[in-house]
Structure 1
């Protein structure tokens, strides 16, 4: 809660801009496949765990973000370009 309060305070005073890089859980799982050393947070099936976390946090993240960018199928370069473009336009 303290982190959330700090973030909201900084946003109110125009000290920061927040960008939510949004991707569906299935897309995130595909990106994580090569990484076998990433531990599960809950011990659950990775897809279910990712879906649960997404469902729990997505609405909050969107409400806090100044900009939301769907990055599910974008490369890193495409994501960076989209972030820079969005920041320039806002």
Structure 2
């Protein structure tokens, strides 16, 4: 495969978890956009949001997207929930939307071993009504951007990986 795979989806859907499992299965190298931004800024995403606001963070995502397009090949890229908005998304690679219901995502987070930490690091999940409205707004946009849609709800990681591998062959 000579193209990047770009995982998109709502925060907490499991993009990082799926990326790590897919890396093991395929031997691809992986990068996480939020990790790249945190390294670039030398601070956590939550701290960036609190100090500079969402607009500043989205500008960092655009900068990251430009770098990915120019510099990264044959890589699995896990994105933040709002990364789908970058204009060059399809120039970066094949876009895979990991889809779940809002309730399914909350259940996934709550059932994880470090659920408190996972909720705390997602500033946009601090208000559940706003988060649900954001999910409802983004879901059709994720579908629109996706080359491949993988339903991850109530599926094991192995099932999800198998579905992705079938779709990308």
TM tier, smaller: 0.7 to 0.9
2:124–2:131 CA contact under 8 A, matched in 1: no
Please list the CA deviations of residues 39-60 of structure 1 after superposition, one character each: whole Å capped at 9, or x if unmatched: 2426313xx3442221111111
Query: Unaligned stretches of 5+ in structure 2?
Result: 1-57, 66-85
Please say if residues 29 and 50 of structure 1, whose CA atoms lie closer than 8 Å, have aligned partners that are also in contact: no
Change (3 A) 1:32 1:42: closer
Higher RCO (CA-CA < 8 Å; seq separation 6+): 1
* Aligned-pair Cα RMSD in Å: 2.0
Matched residue count: 81
TM value normalised by structure 2: 0.43
TM-score (normalizing by structure 1): 0.76
| Distance change >3 Å, CA 31–CA 7, structure 1 → 2 | same
More strand by share: 2
